[in-house]
Amino acid sequence: MSRLPTRLLALPVSLAATFSLGLTLTPAGAADGSGAAEPSAAADEQAARGAQPQPDGEDDSLPHGRPVDPEVAARAAARVAVTGFEMPFPCGQEWTGTTRSSHSPSALSIDWNRPGDDGDPVVASAPGVVTTAYSSVTGGYGKWVVVDHGSNESTLYAHLSAVNVKVGQRVDQGQLLGAVGTTGNSTGPHLHYEQRYSGGVMTPYFHGVKFAFGSTLESRNCVDLPLSADLLGKKNTELVLFRRAPTAKFLVRRTKKPAKVIKYGSATDDPVLGDWDGNGRANVGVFTAAKRTFRLLAAGEEQTIVFGSRKDKPVAGDWDGDGTWEVGVRRAAKAAFRLRAADGTVKVVPLGDPGDLPVTGDWDGDGRTDLGVYDQATSTFTLRLVDADGLVWTAQVPFGDPGDLPVVGDWDGNGKSDLGVWDPLTAVFSQRKAPAPTTTSREVTDIRFGRKR
């Protein structure tokens, strides 16, 4: 993916105007997308209506979904996917995929199994936007999820025992979607999986290879996630990757040495970094969505905090400026942050749209962590700022290319957080160094770190 030779940049924050070079300033709550309604999934609900679960096994005489036009089905079956699909399971797991001529809605659908699979995690085959997420049984598919990957391609995950996402939410490859179950037209735990094109089921491919039905594969859904923090006790923040693997690990970039490796968490955990003990150096942590639990590691001791819901995305920051970081979540369905104070009280801050990705940083250098979101489709950061009078404003700063993942850190050591992105296709970080994250005076540094997808 080629990068733009120049990046649109925002002008300095002003309380008086909206500028034409990419910076939009609005009082908080006026036009920041908070409170936006979730997209309707009524059409998918109608399509999925069918019989309720049967007592003694999957009944393929009962449809999973609506009949597909034969011409649509033929076009889908002949298509080679442009999306780089991986198996819908965490890195390193082995699963067997089968089908049969009577498989509904298509013999190109896969039923995945392995011993003791009831309740096992199901993850996204590729990045995309959730268009269907039913947490209650809606017919043949039971509890099910659909993720739109663009180019009229999508994936479907059915018979789930739990759903961990909401409609309108943007998910990354390898992100937890739900758990294997036996809801709908099934009484034996398995994952019913489809790769779709324009409503028809495609011939499945994984890691660029056509799937052979009846075979057992090892998941290569092993992705890096970009982060940053001062984990080495230096003035500037370091680039960090969280590698989804059977034993997950944080990789901390060092300029003259190999990356420092910190093993912690699992492939389906979401990473967080923060100064949990207030000693001036960041530590690692993870959020286990299925258990709504943060595990924070500092000085060899683990702190556990139960907070949020299994559909939330974790964030961390020093909300009160006392030097010790706290945790929080962003709830996509409400387009709002929920920030937990040390005493357990919760502050709710609406910001952005359901599909935005959360970011946190100190935009003004006052020692308190501020909030922001990143729109992957438009490559735009929306930063929330609070002035000396307590008035809240939002500033929009375009940076990056569509599909980039946001990463924020103090790249130049001036006490204010800078913006950045990581391109999953090239594994390149682009750091935007500026006097403040909303000023036009800046330089961009590109650093390759991590594994390309």
Burial of 73 (0-12, 13-18, 19+ CB in 10 A): buried
pLDDT at 187: 79
Positions in the chain whose pLDDT score sits under 70 = 1-67
CA distance 147 to 169: 9
Find where tokens 């017919």 sit: 139
The beta strand positions in 89-175, using DSSP E, are: 94-98, 110-113, 121-123, 128-134, 143-150, 153-160, 162-163, 170-171
Token pair 């020093």 is found at 318
Ramachandran quadrant class, 170 (left: phi over 0; alpha: psi -120 to 50; beta: rest): beta
Token pair, residue 189, equals: 């735990």
The pLDDT value recorded for residue 261 is 97
Distance CA 2, CA 295 (A): 38
The sheet carrying 121-123 orders its strands as 121-123, 176-179, 162-163
The dihedral through the CA atoms of 100, 178, 421, 272 has a sign that is negative
Q: Spell out where 234-325 has E strands.
A: 238-243, 249-252, 260-263, 270-274, 283-288, 293-298, 301-306, 313-317
- What is the rounded distance in angstroms from the CA atom of residue 168 to the CA atom of residue 361? 25
Q: What is the pLDDT of residue 137?
A: 82
Residue length, the chain?
453
3-state DSSP call for residue 72?
A: helix
Which token pair is 320?
A: 């009160």
Classify domain 42-218 at the CATH topology level.
Glucose Permease (Domain IIA) (2.70.70)
User: What tokens appear for 205 in the block?
Assistant: 């491919």
Cis peptide bond prior to 105, omega within 30° of 0: yes
Which pLDDT score, from 0 to 100, does residue 393 have? 93
CA pair distance 59, 139, nearest whole angstrom: 12
* Coil/strand/helix, residue 9: coil
Q: Tell me the two tokens of residue 236.
A: 């500037």
Looking up tokens 């994984």 gives 206
* Separation CA 210–CA 213 (nearest Å): 9
Q: How far apart are CA 214 and CA 191, in angstroms?
A: 14
* Terminal alpha carbon distance of the chain: 12
Determine the Cα angle at 153 with ends 218 and 38, to 5°: 105
Contact 331, 14 (CB under 8 A): no
Q: What is the pLDDT of residue 67?
A: 66
**Token digits of residue 282:** 């960041």
162-184, pLDDT tens digit by residue?
A: 999 999 999 999 999 999 999 99
CB contact at 8 A, 97 and 215 = yes
CATH 2.70.70.10 segments of the chain: 42-218
